[in-house]
A and B are shown apart, each in its own frame.
Chain A
Amino acid sequence: MVSMTGKNKSRRGTVPPDVAQQIDANLKRLYSETASEELPKSLADLLAALREQEDPKGSDEV
């Protein structure tokens, strides 16, 4: 249960729309950084290995 005070008082389990928007905006900021990072080498290596496994001798092989 969330305790709301003063003008921000709201019904149980909800927050005022402006507070919800602030929370979402902050979360977007935090995770937009991750989304703009380059992939780590371990993940790039894994993708390369999977592609190689898929088609080890090139696309001409049927």
Chain B
Amino acid sequence: MSAKDVRATSSDAREEIVTHLPALRAFARGLTGDHAAADDLVQETVLKAWSKFHLYKDGTNLRAWLFTILRNTFLSVMRKRAREVSDSDGAIAARLTTKPDHDGRLAMQELNDALRKLPVAQREAVLLVGALGFSVEEAAETCGCAPGTIKSRANRGRATLAKLLHMDAEDAMETGDDPVTAVMALSPNSL
């Protein structure tokens, strides 16, 4: 295989990154709760993945590799923010402190708000397994922990969401103004 062929193959494989961007944006939005911060996070992830693609082992799970980069970047930003609480002009860090975008859809906001109240470990488990359809094993690979840990974190995350959204009370689902009931009432196209 010529140098040109090697480069073309590498380039083709790297193009696969693009196919995962929509899901990466969804994960980033769920982690940050903010559209602009999420897109910054995805840009950072793409830059890292593109420049370090030689570290990706061909034939392994590219999606898990990309989600791991995004997750680690997010955690790094969070740690930096914790150290530099006075940081006022860091692009992502500053945006992570802002309120989420308001789109006028209260139910969506309620669910997003509840999600952001979860500890990061539970939030990422709920997002990967619950929202994005990862298997427990793939989520464990992404987060660098055991499948049982992911299962436990996702369960605890769901339990906390249920409490925050009043889904744990016997009569909660009977109230028409409950945020989750409102979400359930919306058609997918209206969200």
Q: Which residues of A contact B (CB under 8 A)?
A: 2-8, 13-15, 19-20, 22-37, 39-40, 42-43, 46-47, 50, 54-55, 59, 62
Contacts and interface: CB of A to CB of B under 8 A. Distances in A.
B39 A15 contact: no
Nearest to A61: B4
Given A43-B43, A47-B46, A55-B11, A2 B180 contact: no
B148 interface: no
A54 B11 contact: yes
A34 B158 contact: no
Interface of B: 2-4, 7-8, 11, 14, 18, 21-23, 25-27, 29-30, 39, 42-43, 46-47, 50, 108, 111-112, 115, 126-127, 129-133, 152, 155-156, 158-163, 165, 167-170, 180, 183-184, 186, 188, 191
17 contacts: A2-B162, A8-B169, A13-B159, A15-B158, A19-B162, A23-B161, A24-B129, A27-B30, A29-B188, A30-B111, A30-B131, A31-B30, A34-B25, A34-B29, A42-B39, A43-B39, A50-B50
